[in-house]
Amino acid sequence: MSNCLLEVKDLVTAFTTSKGPLRAVDGVSFQVNSGELIGVVGESGSGKSLTSLSIMGLVPYPGKVVSGEIFFEGQDLLKLEEAEMVKIRGKNIAMIFQDSRVSLDPVCRCGEQIVEAIRTHEKATREEARERALELIGLVGIPNPARCVNAYPHELSGGMCQRIMIAIALSCRPKLLIADEPTTALDVTVQAQILELLDKLRHDFDMSVILITHNLGVVAGVADRIAVMYAGQIMELGDIGEILNHPMHPYTQGLIKSIPKLEVSSKRLYSISGTVPALDKMPSGCRFEQRCPEAMALCATVLPEMCVLSDGQYVCCHKYDTWRSAYE
- How far apart are alpha carbons 309 and 322 in whole angstroms? 10
Residue closer to ligand SF4, measured from CB, 39 or 250: 250
> Cβ(65)–Cβ(11) under 8 Å?
yes
The least distance separating ligand SF4 from the CB of residue 295, rounded to whole angstroms, comes to 4
Q: What is the nearest approach in angstroms of ligand SF4 to the Cβ of residue 46?
A: 14
CB of 211 to ligand SF4, least distance (A): 24
Query: What are the backbone angles phi and psi of residue 213, rounded to the nearest 5°?
Result: -155, 155
CB of 220 to ligand SF4, least distance (A): 22
Task: Report which residue type is found at 269.
Answer: L
Residues that bind ligand SF4 (CB under 6 A): 250, 286, 288-289, 292, 294-296, 299, 304, 317-319
Closer to ligand SF4 by Cβ: residue 147 or 246: 246
Smallest separation (angstroms) from ligand SF4 to the CB of 287 = 8
Nearer to ligand SF4, 66 or 295 (CB): 295
Q: Quick one: 72 or 288, whose CB is closer to ligand SF4?
A: 288
Residue 11, strand partner residues: 28
Shortest Å distance, C-beta 328 to ligand SF4: 19
Q: Which is nearer to ligand SF4, 192 or 298 (CB)?
A: 298
Single-letter amino acid, residue 76: D
Taking the least distance from each CB to ligand SF4, the nearer of 181 and 289 is 289
- Least CB distance to ligand SF4 at residue 226 (A): 17
- Give the nearer residue to ligand SF4 in terms of CB position, either 55 or 286: 286
The neighbouring-strand residues paired with 303 are: none
Closest by CA position to 286, among listed 226, 324, 214, 235: 235
H-run or E-run covering 9: strand 4-17
Give the whole-angstrom CA distance, residue 43 versus residue 231.
9
Which residue, 15 or 320, is less far from ligand SF4 as judged by CB? 320
Is the distance from CB of 243 to CB of 55 less than 8 angstroms?
no
Order of strands, sheet of 233-239, starting from the edge strand that comes earlier in the sequence? 93-96, 176-180, 208-213, 37-41, 225-230, 233-239, 313-316, 306-310, 324-325
Q: Residue 227 CB, nearest distance to ligand SF4 (Å)?
A: 16
Q: What are the distances in angstroms from CA 201 to CA 6, 115, 136, 220, 222?
A: 19, 20, 11, 18, 12
CA 204-207-212 angle, 5° bins? 115
